[in-house]
Chain A
Amino acid sequence: MIAPRLRRRVGSAIMTTLVVALCLLAVLPLLFILGDLTVKGASSIDWNFFTKSPVPAGQTGGGVANAIVGTGIIVGLACLFGLPIGIGAGVFLAEYGSGRLGWLVRFVADVLNGTPSIVMGIFVWGWFVKPLGHFSALAGGLALAALMIPMVARTTEEMVRLVPHSLREAALALGYPRWRTSLRVVVRTALAGIVTGGLVAVARIAGETAPLLFTALGNLNFSTNILQPMQTLSLQIYVYATGPFDEWHRLAWAAALVLMALVLGLAVLARWATRQRDGTG
């Protein structure tokens, strides 16, 4: 009588310990990556790093000013195209999405969310870069926008759905037409959440490299012309990391630290903004 019960207890205790151990093991890589980046990258970060453009291979010094500005411009372009479409589609899904079209759009958004980003890159190359005849920051922005739209659409839908029905009913009962109710009551109430969804999407596309390889291409010089190739931090890390020079590797660690700070900063900001909403744990 006692033996099987003891065995069950011991078995359960072992499995519980195993689950805890697996969880710890899963968290470990993040700690290592953050640690390595800080140890190897922090020492190379100084004023020049942020204000200078790269120097020719073989020389020491130089910075990633061009890549930092380029990341900002390309992500900005992506937001310009991606946010209106993504948010509009999300509001559609929340307001009119109960029918068959809603199901289709929701399904396609989820499927597109899992599309390899490199495929977006070659798609934009064939559809935009090739007809125009040259690489450009604009093409990079379009590729990132295509990645961003499904993400933003789904988070916007979720946030708009969280708005209590009574608010909408109150506005309709006061004689507001549906569109004004939707824009001025429902969407406005959900605005903080929608902004958060945008931040999460920006955090993800800011670190993307693959879709930019054949669109923005990269540029070792400082450039703000969106019709010309442009550098981003992610492209710079790729080139420096796979290059042969120690000096490049040193700069790559520093650039990776800056990119991580940017991306994780945005993620933390987004989480902080929704801290009250997440009741699930």
Chain B
Amino acid sequence: MTPPDITVPPASGGASVPQAEARLASLLTTNRGDRVYRVLLTGLALALPLLLVTILLELYTSARPSLARFGWAFLWTSVWDPVAEIYGAAPMIFGTLVSSLLALLIAVPLALGVAIFLTEFAPRPLRRPVAFVIELLAAVPSVVYGFWGLFVLIPFLRQVVVPPLKAVLGWTPFIEGVFYGNSMLAGGIILAIMIVPYIAAVSREVLLAVPSAQREAAVGLGATRWEAVWTAVLPYGRAGVFGAIMLGLGRALGETMAVTMVIGNRHDISLSVLQPGYTMAAALANEFSEATTDLYLSALFEVGLILFVLTVVVNALARLLVWRVARGAAIGSRAL
């Protein structure tokens, strides 16, 4: 005996509903002004998907000579020799990923601290000013971060941070070699400072979207306020917080000026964070205007294509995760 089908039939089943909807729609759109208005707005809205597709096409067509010449090996070979016309992007892909992960390592605890403090612990009069200061951090131009990193952060690292770091962890391959200043470490720290406001703002919105019944239930069962946050609030918002972190990752991957100014810009793969590195965005900023041959230019366009696809995928995943918690909200729009 099969159970009766209790699912609601698709719209075609209920004949009267679509008919009514169609009549309503025709009533609403018979006015010619309405139709013009709708077509006009739709046209403007279509500019966005069009922009995405145009960027993708432009990057792809410009990268085609390089794609044809080097194939997939472009991703994992590390010779970058404009004279011999051999290009492999492995060092900058490596540098992009490592600097971004380093940034996440530093930024995630800070940003979650900010988000939890602002939604759960901060006294009410303090919430708005602190949130605003964090927003301002997102408004600081990238080039100013780079400039500050170059003249303030790097000397500070050299004098205060690196000597004890080397004394304690100098035996590991990650803290090895002479520290000249411009390095993966400096790039990672600057990136971390830059993405904290994004992760914090989105996490805060996610935590605000957690129903207060979650907190009340936990506290009602005898949890302390921290335990309520840890056991009831954070797990509820987990997908959204992951989304926030991915959003920060997306920012870090594509950040250009600040990183270019402090990371050292060397085509090398080194495990040590004290050594200079390179990122895809930095390579574009540095070499695009020097690209004298067509193949060189094409290789740089391929770097741009990889960077674009990577950030689109990361951002798309981030949005889907955040939307699961705060449906359809323009998450992060307050973070400038």
B7 interfacial contact with A, CB 8 Å = no
Does B214 sit within 8 A of A, measured CB to CB?
no
Whether the pair B44, A84 counts as a contact (CB closer than 8 A) is yes
| Size category of the binding interface on chain B | 35 or more
Q: Looking at the complex, which one of B46, B130, B144 makes contact with A256 (CB distance below 8 Å)?
A: B144
Which of B320-336 touch A at CB < 8 Å? 328-334, 336
With an 8 A cutoff between CB atoms, is B28 at the interface?
yes
Min CB distance, B254 to chain A, in Å?
3
Query: Considering only CB atoms and an 8 Å cut-off, how many residues of chain A contact the other chain?
Result: 101
Q: Could you say which of A29, A92, A96, A241 contacts B261, with CB atoms under 8 Å apart?
A: A241
The answer on a CB contact under 8 Å between B224 and A122 is no
In angstroms, Cα B227 to Cα A23, docked, is: 19
Q: Provide the residues of chain A in CB contact with B330, threshold 8 Å.
A: 110, 154-155, 157-158
Chain B at the A interface: SS class = helix
Give the residues in chain B near A204, CB-CB below 8 Å.
Answer: 139, 336
State which of B30-38, B64-72, B81-89 sits at the interface with chain A. B30-38
The distance in angstroms between the C-alpha atoms of A109 and B331, with both chains bound, is 12
Chain A-chain B contacts (Cβ-Cβ < 8 Å), number: 297
- Asked if A33 contacts B41 (CB within 8 A), the reply is no
Determine whether B76 belongs to the interface, using a CB cutoff of 8 Å to chain A: no
Interface string of A146-160 (1 = CB under 8 A from B): 100111011101100
> For the complex, is A238 an interface residue (Cβ under 8 Å from B)?
yes
B31, B109, B117: the one within 8 Å of A20 (CB)? B117
A27-B130, A126-B58, A214-B288 are contacts. A33–B257 as well, Cβ < 8 Å? Answer: no
In A1-45, which residues have CB < 8 Å from any B CB?
8-9, 11-13, 15-16, 18-23, 25-27, 29-30, 32-33, 36-37
A-B contact pairs, 10 of them (CB 8 A): A20-B121, A21-B113, A116-B311, A118-B254, A119-B304, A126-B58, A126-B62, A158-B330, A203-B336, A207-B142
- Residues of A near any B CB (own CB < 8 A): 8-9, 11-13, 15-16, 18-23, 25-27, 29-30, 32-33, 36-37, 84-85, 88-89, 91-93, 95-97, 101, 104-123, 125-127, 146, 149-151, 153-155, 157-158, 177-180, 182-183, 197, 200, 203-204, 206-210, 213-214, 234, 237-238, 241-242, 249, 252-253, 256, 259-260, 263-264, 267-268, 271, 278, 280-281
